[in-house]
């Protein structure tokens, strides 16, 4: 992963409520949000050493900052998201425009087949996992699996607080997995355990899961994650990862953190 | 048919993710049942799997609830189409590609609605009425030019048998045939059913009749008195037989022999082989079996019991018949129609000691009717099962022992 797509939070704010974290009364401190976002970018560029592609922020689209939901990119192909909530559907055109402008081959899903991009599709090189029920439609994974000739194991998201797969599930470059077990039902937990051996799984404690410990970005041996997750950090360090905690609580007001603010391009 | 069903399609990586297991569990937990009609498991990790699941429920509401619950897991209702029909080109001739029935409950889809096919029977066609509001099974010979006949397989569905609530021998719905299985409990279960059916029949309830199709071995082997008792006591409500059973039954009454053998002495009597011919001739002279019983010429036995109890008897003739007796239908197609007409309302069928009548009757019975086939020769129940009557319980034993034990269990004095 050499490049990440990001979008500066110029127009970021809580302007509607489409997940349990969002409260219109819980106003975003704009200055603080800008500072936190730039600090995150600095970590990516200076400490982790990845290149950043910056989208132009658009007034009236407060969640455009969460580029993980732009779509999913595989090689030169990009699948543009189809958002479940009308509040975010207007972002689709801007994300598509960006992909087209950067010469990606666009794959468009049929109308009504909800799919919220890399927020709900993550995995290891050989196989992926797809989060469904809260936002993405399970049927989208069948279509994507055909396009990319990749196995996609659907996992039902059963806790509304963890509405995207990337809020509770984070595959790491060494084959390890951070996840919050209670966000999945027994079928999902069994499917995960079948694929990832016990020794490679960290079941993140709830106190850190609600700080979005799993909404982490792993690039090689670097893991960028929100602050306040000591157990997770300790586990990562013990496995040879270099951790980069960043204060991102302004973005948690919208139910997003480090991973939500980025989209892997290569 | 108190059953609602819908087929759904599930595809993707549904095996390792346990999505298929979850959908099936949901169906069961909510109170439905399912059949996996088609399952394809991907050969590689990348290749997706798919499954076609038929869901059945006791109520339409429950079916709707289940469909709603499994839809988010990717189950989509299979697109259903109406059945196709074509006009019969001539009397007695079905259109090419006609749908051939099984003896299982069957429905066809017309104008978007599923209709039960009435009078279902194996190896027939399905005819739809002009309004498209009803359908029934129809033998090839009864087709009239221009009849609207179902063709192809789309829009036709067959409903597997439900396990009956009674936990008796019929609950297994399988025709294991063996002379080495104990018979006692099977006969006890049949007796229990017959006692129940007699009660229901007396109260005028539906599907409460007991049909017995029998061969002359019943008389030869000594089962005549037991069967006559069962008829007199109201345990049997329809009799299918041939010329021989009736002839030997009345021979026994007139001469005390069956095919010339003294039934009590157990040996051939002089000129005994003529007895059945003289019996047939006597009845022909009187004009009918009914008249022979009414006039007191025939006093005891199976035919006398049938006449006294007013139970319908269908006698189907064969090419080796002597006489035949008045009332024997010698046109096989007409005989088949007469038997078919007597089947509605039957709740239990006993096929005893006759290959021909057992298989012919088996062919006419829907799979939903509990059926018992009794013969000393295991090939008879086997043949019946091979011809598709899988619901028949096979009993390898002689007719007299079966009928005597059955009558004893039902209260016949020793």
Q: How do the domains of chain B map onto residue ranges? A: 4-77, 84-158, 169-409
B45: chain A residues, CB-CB within 8 Å: 126-127, 151
pLDDT range class, residue A124, cuts 50, 70, 90: very high
pLDDT range class, residue B1, cuts 50, 70, 90: very low
Per-chain mean pLDDT for chain A: 96
Q: What sign does the CA torsion over B56, B57, B63, B68 have?
A: negative
Q: How many CB atoms lie within 10 A of CB B357?
A: 23
Q: Which of A154, A144, A86, A148 is nearest to A117 (CA)?
A: A144
Nearest CA distance, A83 vs chain B (angstrom): 16
User: Domain B4-77 sits in which CATH superfamily?
Assistant: LOR/SDH bifunctional enzyme, conserved domain (3.30.70.2690)
- Cβ atoms of B92 and B140 within 8 Å: the answer is yes
**pLDDT value for A112:** 87
- Confirm or reject contact between A152 and chain B (CB < 8 A): yes
B169-409, what's its fold? Rossmann fold (3.40.50)
Which residue of A142, A157, A190 to mutate against B (max B Cβ within 10 Å)?
A142
Q: What is the pLDDT of residues B97-148, one digit of tens each?
A: 999 999 988 999 999 888 999 999 999 999 999 999 999 999 999 999 999 9
Longest dimension (CA), chain A: 46
Q: Do B17 and A155 touch (CB under 8 A)?
A: yes
pLDDT range class, residue A189, cuts 50, 70, 90: very high
Region B84-158: CATH code:
2.40.420.10
Q: What is the ipTM metric for this complex?
A: 0.91
- Confirm or reject contact between B368 and chain A (CB < 8 A): no
A–B interface: beta-carbon pairs under 8 A: 57
- Give me the residue from A154, A155, A194 closest to B12, CB to CB: A154
pLDDT (average), residues A70-98: 96
Q: Choose, from A214, A218, A229, A260, the residue flagged as catalytic.
A: A260
Q: Which of B205, B211, B218 is nearest to B236 (CA)?
A: B211
pTM attached to this predicted model = 0.66
Domain A3-264: top CATH class:
alpha beta
**pLDDT value for B162:** 65
- Cβ atoms of B307 and B283 within 8 Å: the answer is no
- Confirm or reject contact between A85 and chain B (CB < 8 A): no
Percent of chain B with pLDDT over 70: 95
Tell me: pLDDT of B164 over 70. no
- Cβ atoms of B194 and B410 within 8 Å: the answer is yes
Percent of chain A with pLDDT over 90: 98
A132: chain B residues, CB-CB within 8 Å: 72
Q: What is the pLDDT of residues B173-206, one digit of tens each?
A: 555 666 667 788 899 999 999 999 999 999 999 9
CA dist B374 and B379 (Å) reads: 11
| Range in A84-88, B174-178, B281-285 the model is least confident about | B174-178
Q: Is A260 a catalytic residue?
A: yes
B18: chain A residues, CB-CB within 8 Å: 187-188, 190-191
CA dist B342 and B340 (Å) reads: 5
- Confirm or reject contact between A141 and chain B (CB < 8 A): yes
B76: chain A residues, CB-CB within 8 Å: 139
Q: Do A138 and B73 touch (CB under 8 A)?
A: yes
Residue of chain A whose alpha carbon sits nearest to that of B46: A151
Q: What is the pLDDT of residues B42-100, one digit of tens each?
A: 888 888 899 999 999 999 899 999 998 999 899 988 777 899 999 999 999 999 999 99
Q: Is B230 helix (H, G, I), strand (E, B) or coil?
A: helix
Whole-number Cα distances in Å, B342 to B116, B363, B371 = 20, 13, 16
Tell me: pLDDT of A248 over 70. yes
Q: How do the domains of chain A map onto residue ranges? A: 3-264
CA dist B352 and B360 (Å) reads: 12
pLDDT (average), residues B287-299: 97
Q: What is the pLDDT of residues A129-185, one digit of tens each?
A: 999 999 999 999 999 999 999 999 999 999 999 999 999 999 999 999 999 999 999
B17: chain A residues, CB-CB within 8 Å: 153-155, 187-188, 191
Q: What is the pLDDT of residues B14-23, one digit of tens each?
A: 999 999 999 9
Backbone angles phi, psi at A206, to 5 degrees: -55, -40
B residues 21-50 lying closer than 8 A (beta carbon) to A: 21-22, 45-46, 48
Q: Do B22 and A156 touch (CB under 8 A)?
A: yes
- Give me the residue from B12, B16, B21 closest to A141, CB to CB: B12
Tell me: pLDDT of B249 over 90. yes
Tell me: pLDDT of B2 over 70. no
Q: Is A164 a catalytic residue?
A: yes
Per-chain mean pLDDT for chain B: 91
């Amino acid at each position: 992963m050499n490049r990440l797509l990001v979008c500066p939070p110029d127009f970021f704010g809580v302007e509607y409520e489409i997940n349990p974290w969002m409260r219109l009364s819980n106003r975003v401190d704009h200055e603080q949000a800008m500072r936190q976002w730039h600090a995150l970018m600095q970590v990516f560029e200076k400490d982790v050493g990845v290149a950043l592609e910056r989208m132009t922020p658009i007034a009236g689209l407060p969640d455009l900052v969460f580029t993980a939901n732009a779509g999913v990119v595989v090689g030169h192909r990009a699948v543009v998201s189809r958002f479940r909530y009308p509040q975010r559907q207007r972002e689709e055109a801007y994300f598509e425009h960006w992909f087209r402008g950067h010469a990606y081959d666009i794959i468009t899903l049929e109308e009504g087949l909800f799919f919220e991009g890399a927020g709900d599709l993550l995995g290891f090189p050989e196989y992926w996992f797809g989060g469904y029920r809260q936002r993405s439609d399970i049927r989208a994974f069948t279509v994507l699996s055909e396009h990319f000739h990749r196995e996609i194991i659907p996992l039902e998201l059963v806790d509304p607080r963890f509405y995207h797969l990337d809020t509770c599930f984070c595959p790491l470059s060494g084959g390890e997995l951070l996840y919050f077990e209670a966000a999945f039902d027994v079928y999902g937990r069994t499917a995960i355990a079948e694929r990832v051996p016990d020794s490679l799984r960290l079941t993140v404690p709830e106190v850190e899961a609600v700080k979005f410990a799993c909404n982490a970005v792993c690039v090689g041996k670097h893991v960028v994650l929100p602050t306040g997750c000591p157990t997770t950090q300790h586990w990562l360090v013990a496995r040879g990862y270099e951790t980069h905690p960043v204060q991102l609580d302004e973005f948690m007001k919208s139910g997003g953190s480090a991973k939500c603010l980025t989209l892997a391009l290569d | 048919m108190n059953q609602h069903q819908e087929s759904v399609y599930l595809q993707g990586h549904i095996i390792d993710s346990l999505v298929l297991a979850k959908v099936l569990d949901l169906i069961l937990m909510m109170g439905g049942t399912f059949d996996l009609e088609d399952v394809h498991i991907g050969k590689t990790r990348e290749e997706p799997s798919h499954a076609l699941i038929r869901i059945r429920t006791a109520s339409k509401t429950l079916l709707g609830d289940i469909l709603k619950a499994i839809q988010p897991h990717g189950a989509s209702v299979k697109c259903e189409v109406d059945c196709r029909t074509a006009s019969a080109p001539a009397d007695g001739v079905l259109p090419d590609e006609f749908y051939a029935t099984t003896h299982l409950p069957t429905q066809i889809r017309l104008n978007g609605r599923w209709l039960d096919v009435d009078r279902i029977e194996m190896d027939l066609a399905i005819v739809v009425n002009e309004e498209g509001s009803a359908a029934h099974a129809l033998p090839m010979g009864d087709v009239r030019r221009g009849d609207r006949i179902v063709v192809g397989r789309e829009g036709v569905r067959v409903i597997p048998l439900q396990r009956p609530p009674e936990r008796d021998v019929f609950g297994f719905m399988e025709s294991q045939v063996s002379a080495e299985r104990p018979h006692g409990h099977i006969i006890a279960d049949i007796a229990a059913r017959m006692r129940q059916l007699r009660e229901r029949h007396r109260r005028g309830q539906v599907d409460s009749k007991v049909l017995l199709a029998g061969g002359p071995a019943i008389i030869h082997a000594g089962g005549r008195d037991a069967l006559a008792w069962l008829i007199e006591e109201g345990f049997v409500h329809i009799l299918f037989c041939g010329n021989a059973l009736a002839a030997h039954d009345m021979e026994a009454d007139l001469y005390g022999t069956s095919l010339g053998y003294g039934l009590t002495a157990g040996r051939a009597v002089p000129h005994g082989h003529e007895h059945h011919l003289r019996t047939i001739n006597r009845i022909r002279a009187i004009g009918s079996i009914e008249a022979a019983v009414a006039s007191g010429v025939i006093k005891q036995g199976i035919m006398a019991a049938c006449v006294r109890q007013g139970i319908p008897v269908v006698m189907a003739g064969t090419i080796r018949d002597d006489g035949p007796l008045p009332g024997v239908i010698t046109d096989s197609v007409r005989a088949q129609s007469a038997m078919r007409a007597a089947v509605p309302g039957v709740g239990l069928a006993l096929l005893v000691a006759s290959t021909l009548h057992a298989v012919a009757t088996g062919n006419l019975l829907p799979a939903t009717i509990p059926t018992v086939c009794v013969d000393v020769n295991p090939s008879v129940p086997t043949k019946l099962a091979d011809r598709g009557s899988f619901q028949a319980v096979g009993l390898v034993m002689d007719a007299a022992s079966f009928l005597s034990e059955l009558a004893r269990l039902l209260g016949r004095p020793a």
